[in-house]
Amino acid sequence: MRILPVSLTVLLVELADLDETLALFASLEADPVDGIVEMVPAARTLMIRFRPEKLTAERLAANIATRDLSARITPSDILVEIPVIYDGEDLADVAELTGLSVEDVIRRHTDSTFTVAFCGFAPGFGYLVGGDPALQVPRRQSPRTKIPAGSVALAGAFSGVYPQNSPGGWQIIGTTPEKMWDLSRDPPALFQPGHRVRFIDLAKKTGATTAPSSNVASIPTSDAAQAAPLDNDLTFTVLAAPVPALFQDLGRFGQTGQGVSSSGALDQGALKAANRVVGNPAATPVLEIILGGFSFEVSGRAVFAIAGAPCPITIRDISGRSIVAEAYQPIALEAGDVVTLGQAPKGMRSYLSVRGGFAVKPVLGSASTDTLAVVGPDPVTAGAVLTFNQDASNLTSVSLTEVPAFDPPAFGDVVTLDVIMGPRGDWFTETGIATLSSQLWQVTPQSNRVGIRITGDVALERKDKAELPSEGTATGAIQVPHSGQPVLFLADHPLTGGYPVIGTVAEYHLDLAGQIPVGAQIRFRPVTTFADIKPAKA
């Protein structure tokens, strides 16, 4: 067992195999440690997020070291049957790699009873184990940029079904019409850890249907949406949104078992400030807006605010008179006022709050829109009518003293981010580790809420081309693909990843990272050296 640093509040336990990983996960669930917030099991690791005010990494490591890892998890009595058309693009390649015929590949796949070991990568993506060992094949050398939803695939010791269109490197052997992720179900993920799974060859099943044979209950749940406005509701009517705005709050927690990461505002300090300005509770959902041109008309008296990237704010009243307002100040509106936000000269994301909060329905406990997982309220576009709450019971007075927590970076600026080294520092050469901090990294236009894609003159050098089993990833992780050009994960990152993470941006710099615009440069500043975490002595 190794216990590796990820960030100031996250560590990674590396174990011998999946059985030990699941045994440790089960032990910590049955006998929890006060201070653990969340756990993400993977192929041979358990990522643990903890509260540093309650627990140190060393004390947590000492507790973990005492756990019994010999217990084996009893499979669930729930069996899910997945109908499959074995027509995958890689079916012939899998046959060649395994030395089997195509018919034997299909037979061995359908004869196996799998178990959902854990969920990750994307919502509803279950990693299935227990298949025929003869079907173990490597990932594709060149991952596909888009794999269709419902693709049945193999990689290493795992089988799985892609729940939505996404990039991926697994070997596709077939397709299923079954919906793996459906928000009208409770839970939305068809595969839950512990479930047993069998694949049914539709070509051989007379009168096959697409419905799964499963003991999983299906309970309709409400979709994420704005409540339909009533005649007396106060509303914002969106007149223009060149880039769709997104509802965001502090994030969606407790859903890692379904493969769902936290998402949430990229600049959480700005979100909280925007809410304090108008007297809302700090976690009230707001609109996250990038670039300029967002405009709306208000139907009645309201108070709103802007925080984060300091975009110009213009208000035109019904008489045609225009005034200019400032960010981080409460702004009173009257019926018929039209507000237009210009492009911020620095920073990347502005946060729009309204006193009382938007009447938006949460999905899986949060109103955040996760752009990778496609979970949460729909993006806000021109023509949308946004209702806001008029209940004042949880409101406080407006704040006139809010200021930005930092000066947002502009195009061309150099932004320094502190980095906790690990958990995979030993996958890189000394030259590669030195390169991370010795050169500037350019922020590219391919960046988004999933991650900041950066390029440097010199790629990060790895010790070898070994394949890393999928493991949990944290917001701020600097993941390094084969190209050696890193991706800095932001809030909508996949829950698990298969490339080594050389370091993770310190939590106190994540808001700053969320405001870095395209064209800026990043300097990584390691504040720790990579080393295993040693258990505290009793």
**170-199 residues labelled b (16+ CB within 10 A) or e (exposed):** bbbbbbbebbbbbbebebbbbbbbbbbbeb
Residue-averaged pLDDT of the chain: 92
DSSP 226: B
pLDDT tier for residue 325 given thresholds of 50, 70 and 90: very high
Residue 176 structure tokens? 């299923």
Does the pLDDT of residue 508 top 60, yes or no? yes
CA of 117: how far to CAs of 133, 194, 470, 538, in Å? 16, 6, 12, 34
Sign of the alpha-carbon dihedral angle for 165, 452, 499, 376: negative
Residue 74 structure tokens? 């009893």
DSSP 367: -
SS3 of residue 49 by DSSP: strand
Q: Residue 431 is which amino acid?
A: T
The answer to whether the peptide bond before residue 187 is cis (omega within 30 degrees of 0) is: yes
Q: How confident is the model over 86-139, as pLDDT tens digits?
A: 999 999 999 999 999 999 999 999 999 999 999 988 899 999 999 999 999 998
How far is residue 269's CA from residue 514's CA, in Å, rounded to a whole number? 11
How far is residue 202's CA from residue 110's CA, in Å, rounded to a whole number? 11
Lowest-pLDDT range, 141-145, 432-436, 499-503, 533-537?
Answer: 141-145
3-state percent breakdown (helix, strand, coil) of the chain, nearest 5: 15, 30, 55
Does the pLDDT of residue 384 top 60, yes or no? yes
CA nearest 500: which of 458, 459, 467? Answer: 467
Strand partners, 325: 313
pLDDT value at residue 227: 55
Provide DSSP, 317-357: -TTS-EEEE-TTS-EEE-TT-EEEE---SS-SEEEEEETT-
Helices (H), 124-167: none
Q: Residue 430 is which amino acid?
A: E
Q: Are strands 196-201 and 79-84 parallel, antiparallel or unpaired?
A: parallel
- Contact between residue 76 and residue 195 where contact means Cβ atoms under 8 Å apart: yes
Does the pLDDT of residue 374 top 80, yes or no? yes
pLDDT value at residue 215: 41
CA nearest 247: which of 352, 171, 342? Answer: 352
pLDDT value at residue 218: 34
CA nearest 503: which of 414, 412, 441, 411? Answer: 441
- Contact between residue 522 and residue 449 where contact means Cβ atoms under 8 Å apart: no
Q: Are strands 246-248 and 286-290 parallel, antiparallel or unpaired?
A: antiparallel
pLDDT value at residue 364: 93
- Contact between residue 443 and residue 521 where contact means Cβ atoms under 8 Å apart: yes
What's this model's pTM, rounded to 2 decimal places? 0.90
CA nearest 185: which of 128, 124, 228? Answer: 124
DSSP 105: H
Strand partners, 246: 288
pLDDT tier for residue 309 given thresholds of 50, 70 and 90: very high
Q: How confident is the model over 406-453, as pLDDT tens digits?
A: 999 999 999 999 999 999 999 999 999 999 999 999 999 999 999 999
pLDDT value at residue 20: 95
pLDDT tier for residue 76 given thresholds of 50, 70 and 90: confident
More confident residue, 126 or 223: 126
Sign of the alpha-carbon dihedral angle for 398, 403, 405, 411: positive
CA nearest 62: which of 414, 438, 495, 537? Answer: 537
Lowest-pLDDT range, 33-37, 182-186, 277-281, 297-301?
Answer: 182-186
pLDDT tier for residue 72 given thresholds of 50, 70 and 90: confident
Strand partners, 224: none
Q: How confident is the model over 185-201, as pLDDT tens digits?
A: 889 999 999 899 999 99
pLDDT value at residue 291: 87
pLDDT value at residue 230: 60
Task: Decide: residue 231, CB within 10 A, 0-12 exposed, 13-18 middle, 19+ buried.
Answer: exposed
pLDDT tier for residue 150 given thresholds of 50, 70 and 90: very high
SS3 of residue 67 by DSSP: coil
- Contact between residue 463 and residue 428 where contact means Cβ atoms under 8 Å apart: yes
| Residue at token pair 């003159």 | 457
The end-to-end CA distance of the chain, in Å, is 19
Instruction: Write down how long the chain is.
Output: 538
pLDDT tier for residue 523 given thresholds of 50, 70 and 90: very high
Residue 126 structure tokens? 């279950």
The average pLDDT across 157-161 equals 95
Helix (H) or strand (E) holding 59: helix 57-65
The average pLDDT across 212-222 equals 37
Residue 154 structure tokens? 């193999």
SS3 of residue 115 by DSSP: strand
